[in-house]
Chains A and B, each alone.
Chain A
Amino acid sequence: MTSGRGRAVARRSVRLRLGALAALLALGATGCAGGAATAPAAGPAVTATSASAAPTPELPAVLAASVPIRVQIPAIGVDSELMDLGLQADGTMEVPAGGFPAGWYTGAPTPGERGPAVLAGHVDWGGAPGVFAELRDVVPGDEITVSRADGSTAVFAVREVGQYDKDDFPTAAVYGDLDHAGLRVITCGGTFDELADSYRDNTVVFADLVPPA
């Protein structure tokens, strides 16, 4: 028989999703990939702040879900709105139609929820720097501020900045589950491969939520 469910009271915040993320924008394609087939977002619906006693370890505090609307990275002068990014027909992430604005991947948690939130934007476009032209200059300790639709703000502190060959993209590190609220900011980097019409690398900034008071 099942047993062992007695537990200390846990303090949690509960979020109810009303299907607001069920539809994604169809974006004009850029660069290599054409088409903009979208996939329904199926991210988690809950943030849980746990302060229970043993046996479960205490999870870091996180925010409730809320659509991000603005990202600021003061250290490199970034201040951008955020558009929705879904998946293309081939399963790769959609990208914005131009150098600005930046976007957020709607299939991942909203920035501030537990888990890996993902932002992406162009390093350059149409002969001019894109929104994340200087993302490679971010260093650990820099702040990334994400403003959310419900009026709250999620502040992240950069932990790591890396440049990765696109053929060896760190999928697990970027999209794997976390016990806290994390943020990944992605743009292109490295040399530009003219035959492939693509940058060789992705620059990825890893940041963690500064715990809400």
Chain B
Amino acid sequence: MASVPSTLSSPTRRPRRRGVAATSLVAVSTFGMLAGLTGTAQAATAVPLGGAEVYGVLGTTVTNTGTTTVAGDVGGTTRTGTGATGADSIVHTSGIDRGDIGDGQAGLTAAIADARRQGPATDVGTANLASSSPLGPGVYTSASDLALTGPLVLDGAGSYDSVFIFRAGESMTTASASTVTLMNGAQACNVFWEIDESATLGSGSTFRGTILAGTSITLDAGVTVDGRLLAGDSVTLISDTITRSGCQTGLVSPPTSTPVPTATPTGTPAPTATPTGTPAPTATPTGTTRRPTSYGQVGRVPVGSVDTGDGSTAQELSTTP
């Protein structure tokens, strides 16, 4: 049923305003929850890594204990426990070991400079980043340390081009079992952590993005990183896993600007607690090309219809056959 029959006695039509198309009563909010967020803020752009891009792990000194898996090159002038076999070894899922890291270091230096130039930035201070979750694309800084002691969600707002840059004037520490989760177009290839001094990732934690550390990067045991560990000085690993997911561009799903609910939508499925971004098939709207529906913007999709009325003024009653 696409029509809207009136089941009440014909109401008096109130006078209406016409010509609403020219109305522009909207005031773009500039009162974001933190200072510095405006409608005209320049977005973060992907930090070019140059010669450092090929590395999964880069440091002047790389030290590993246990078996660590790395996607990408492993570079260090001094490398300990990074052989391909043995009790302390690094297994490459891709890439090679490099001793000549000059290009990599130059790339890292340039990347750090690029990340520092970007802005405007939102000051997140030393508070637990998880308390601000989820975060959208942009630049986030702390004059001293960055801390993560829980789950952090980075929301790409429906675009694979969304870039996230975090900067710490001093160091960053993540707690054991802390996590960084990506959704709605956010990708590890577009997440950058520029840490002036040292970054430490807690045991069993999950981390995503490229760390650009001025001094050192230390991973406790059993850390999973989707991204890169690039340090000016030392990188320390203990049975960790460094992976590299793919990188794409564009919007997460084709824009469905006008889902046309004309004619009876037949067989429209009602997803229950659909995971974010999972495409669900939808009935073909009249006259439009069939597109898969995604539900990334609604956190939990309500089931079925909405019970908004008790029938106490209904003029037409019926009984279920």
Contacts and interface: CB of A to CB of B under 8 A. Distances in A.
Given A15-B136, A162-B2, 4 more contacts: A13-B37, A130-B308, A191-B314, A204-B261
A70 interface: no
Contact of B33 (A9, A18, A137, A155): A18
Contacts of A64: 28-29, 32, 37, 39
Most buried by B among A13, A18, A160: A13
B247 interface: yes
Contacts of A5: 46, 48, 189-190, 247, 249
26 contacts: A2-B53, A13-B37, A16-B122, A18-B33, A42-B276, A44-B136, A46-B157, A52-B161, A64-B37, A107-B299, A118-B298, A124-B310, A124-B312, A152-B28, A153-B26, A163-B2, A163-B5, A172-B259, A173-B268, A175-B298, A176-B295, A177-B294, A192-B318, A201-B1, A210-B20, A212-B27
A31 B307 CA distance: 7
Main secondary structure of the interface of A (DSSP, over half): loop
Contacts of A213: 24, 26, 28
B303 A192 contact: no
Contact of A46 (B155, B255, B312): B155
A161 B247 CA distance: 40
Contacts of B131: 18-19
Given A2-B53, A93-B306, A126-B312, A87 B300 contact: yes
Contacts of A3: 53, 247
Given A152-B26, A168-B265, A132 B1 contact: no
A170 B297 contact: no
Nearest to A187: B308
Contact of B302 (A76, A92, A114, A163): A92
Interface in A123-162: 123-130, 132-134, 136-137, 141-143, 145, 148, 150-155, 157, 159-162
A148 B1 contact: no
B16 interface: yes
Nearest to B155: A45
Contacts of B38: 13
B85 interface: no
B41 A179 contact: no
Given A168-B266, A178-B256, A16 B317 contact: no
Interface of B: 1-8, 11, 13-14, 16-18, 20-21, 23-29, 31-34, 37-43, 45-46, 48, 53-54, 72, 122, 131-138, 153, 155-159, 161-162, 184, 189-190, 244, 246-247, 249-253, 255-262, 264-266, 268-273, 276, 280, 282-283, 285, 293-314, 316-320
B4 to A, nearest CB: 5
A137 B12 CA distance: 10
Contacts of B133: 17, 19, 45
B293 A63 contact: no
A171 B310 contact: no
B256 to A, nearest CB: 6
A16 B155 CA distance: 11
Nearest to A163: B4
A2 B189 contact: yes
A23 B156 CA distance: 23
Given A175-B302, A203-B4, A44 B24 contact: no
A124 B39 contact: no
B261 A162 contact: yes
Most buried by A among B2, B122, B158: B158
Contacts of A154: 26
A96 B310 CA distance: 12
A36 to B, nearest CB: 13
Given A45-B155, A126-B312, A33 B26 contact: no
Contact of B32 (A16, A20, A57, A171): A16
A169 B32 contact: no
B16 A109 contact: no
Most buried by B among A19, A168, A204: A168
Contacts of A143: 17, 20, 23
Contacts of B302: 87, 91-93, 105, 107, 175
Contact of B269 (A120, A159, A171, A197): A171
A170 B309 contact: no
B249 A56 contact: yes
Given A75-B17, A195-B320, A152 B4 contact: no
A77 B261 CA distance: 25
Nearest to B120: A14
B257 A178 contact: yes
A172 B255 contact: no
Given A30-B310, A114-B158, A12 B138 contact: yes
A120 B309 CA distance: 11
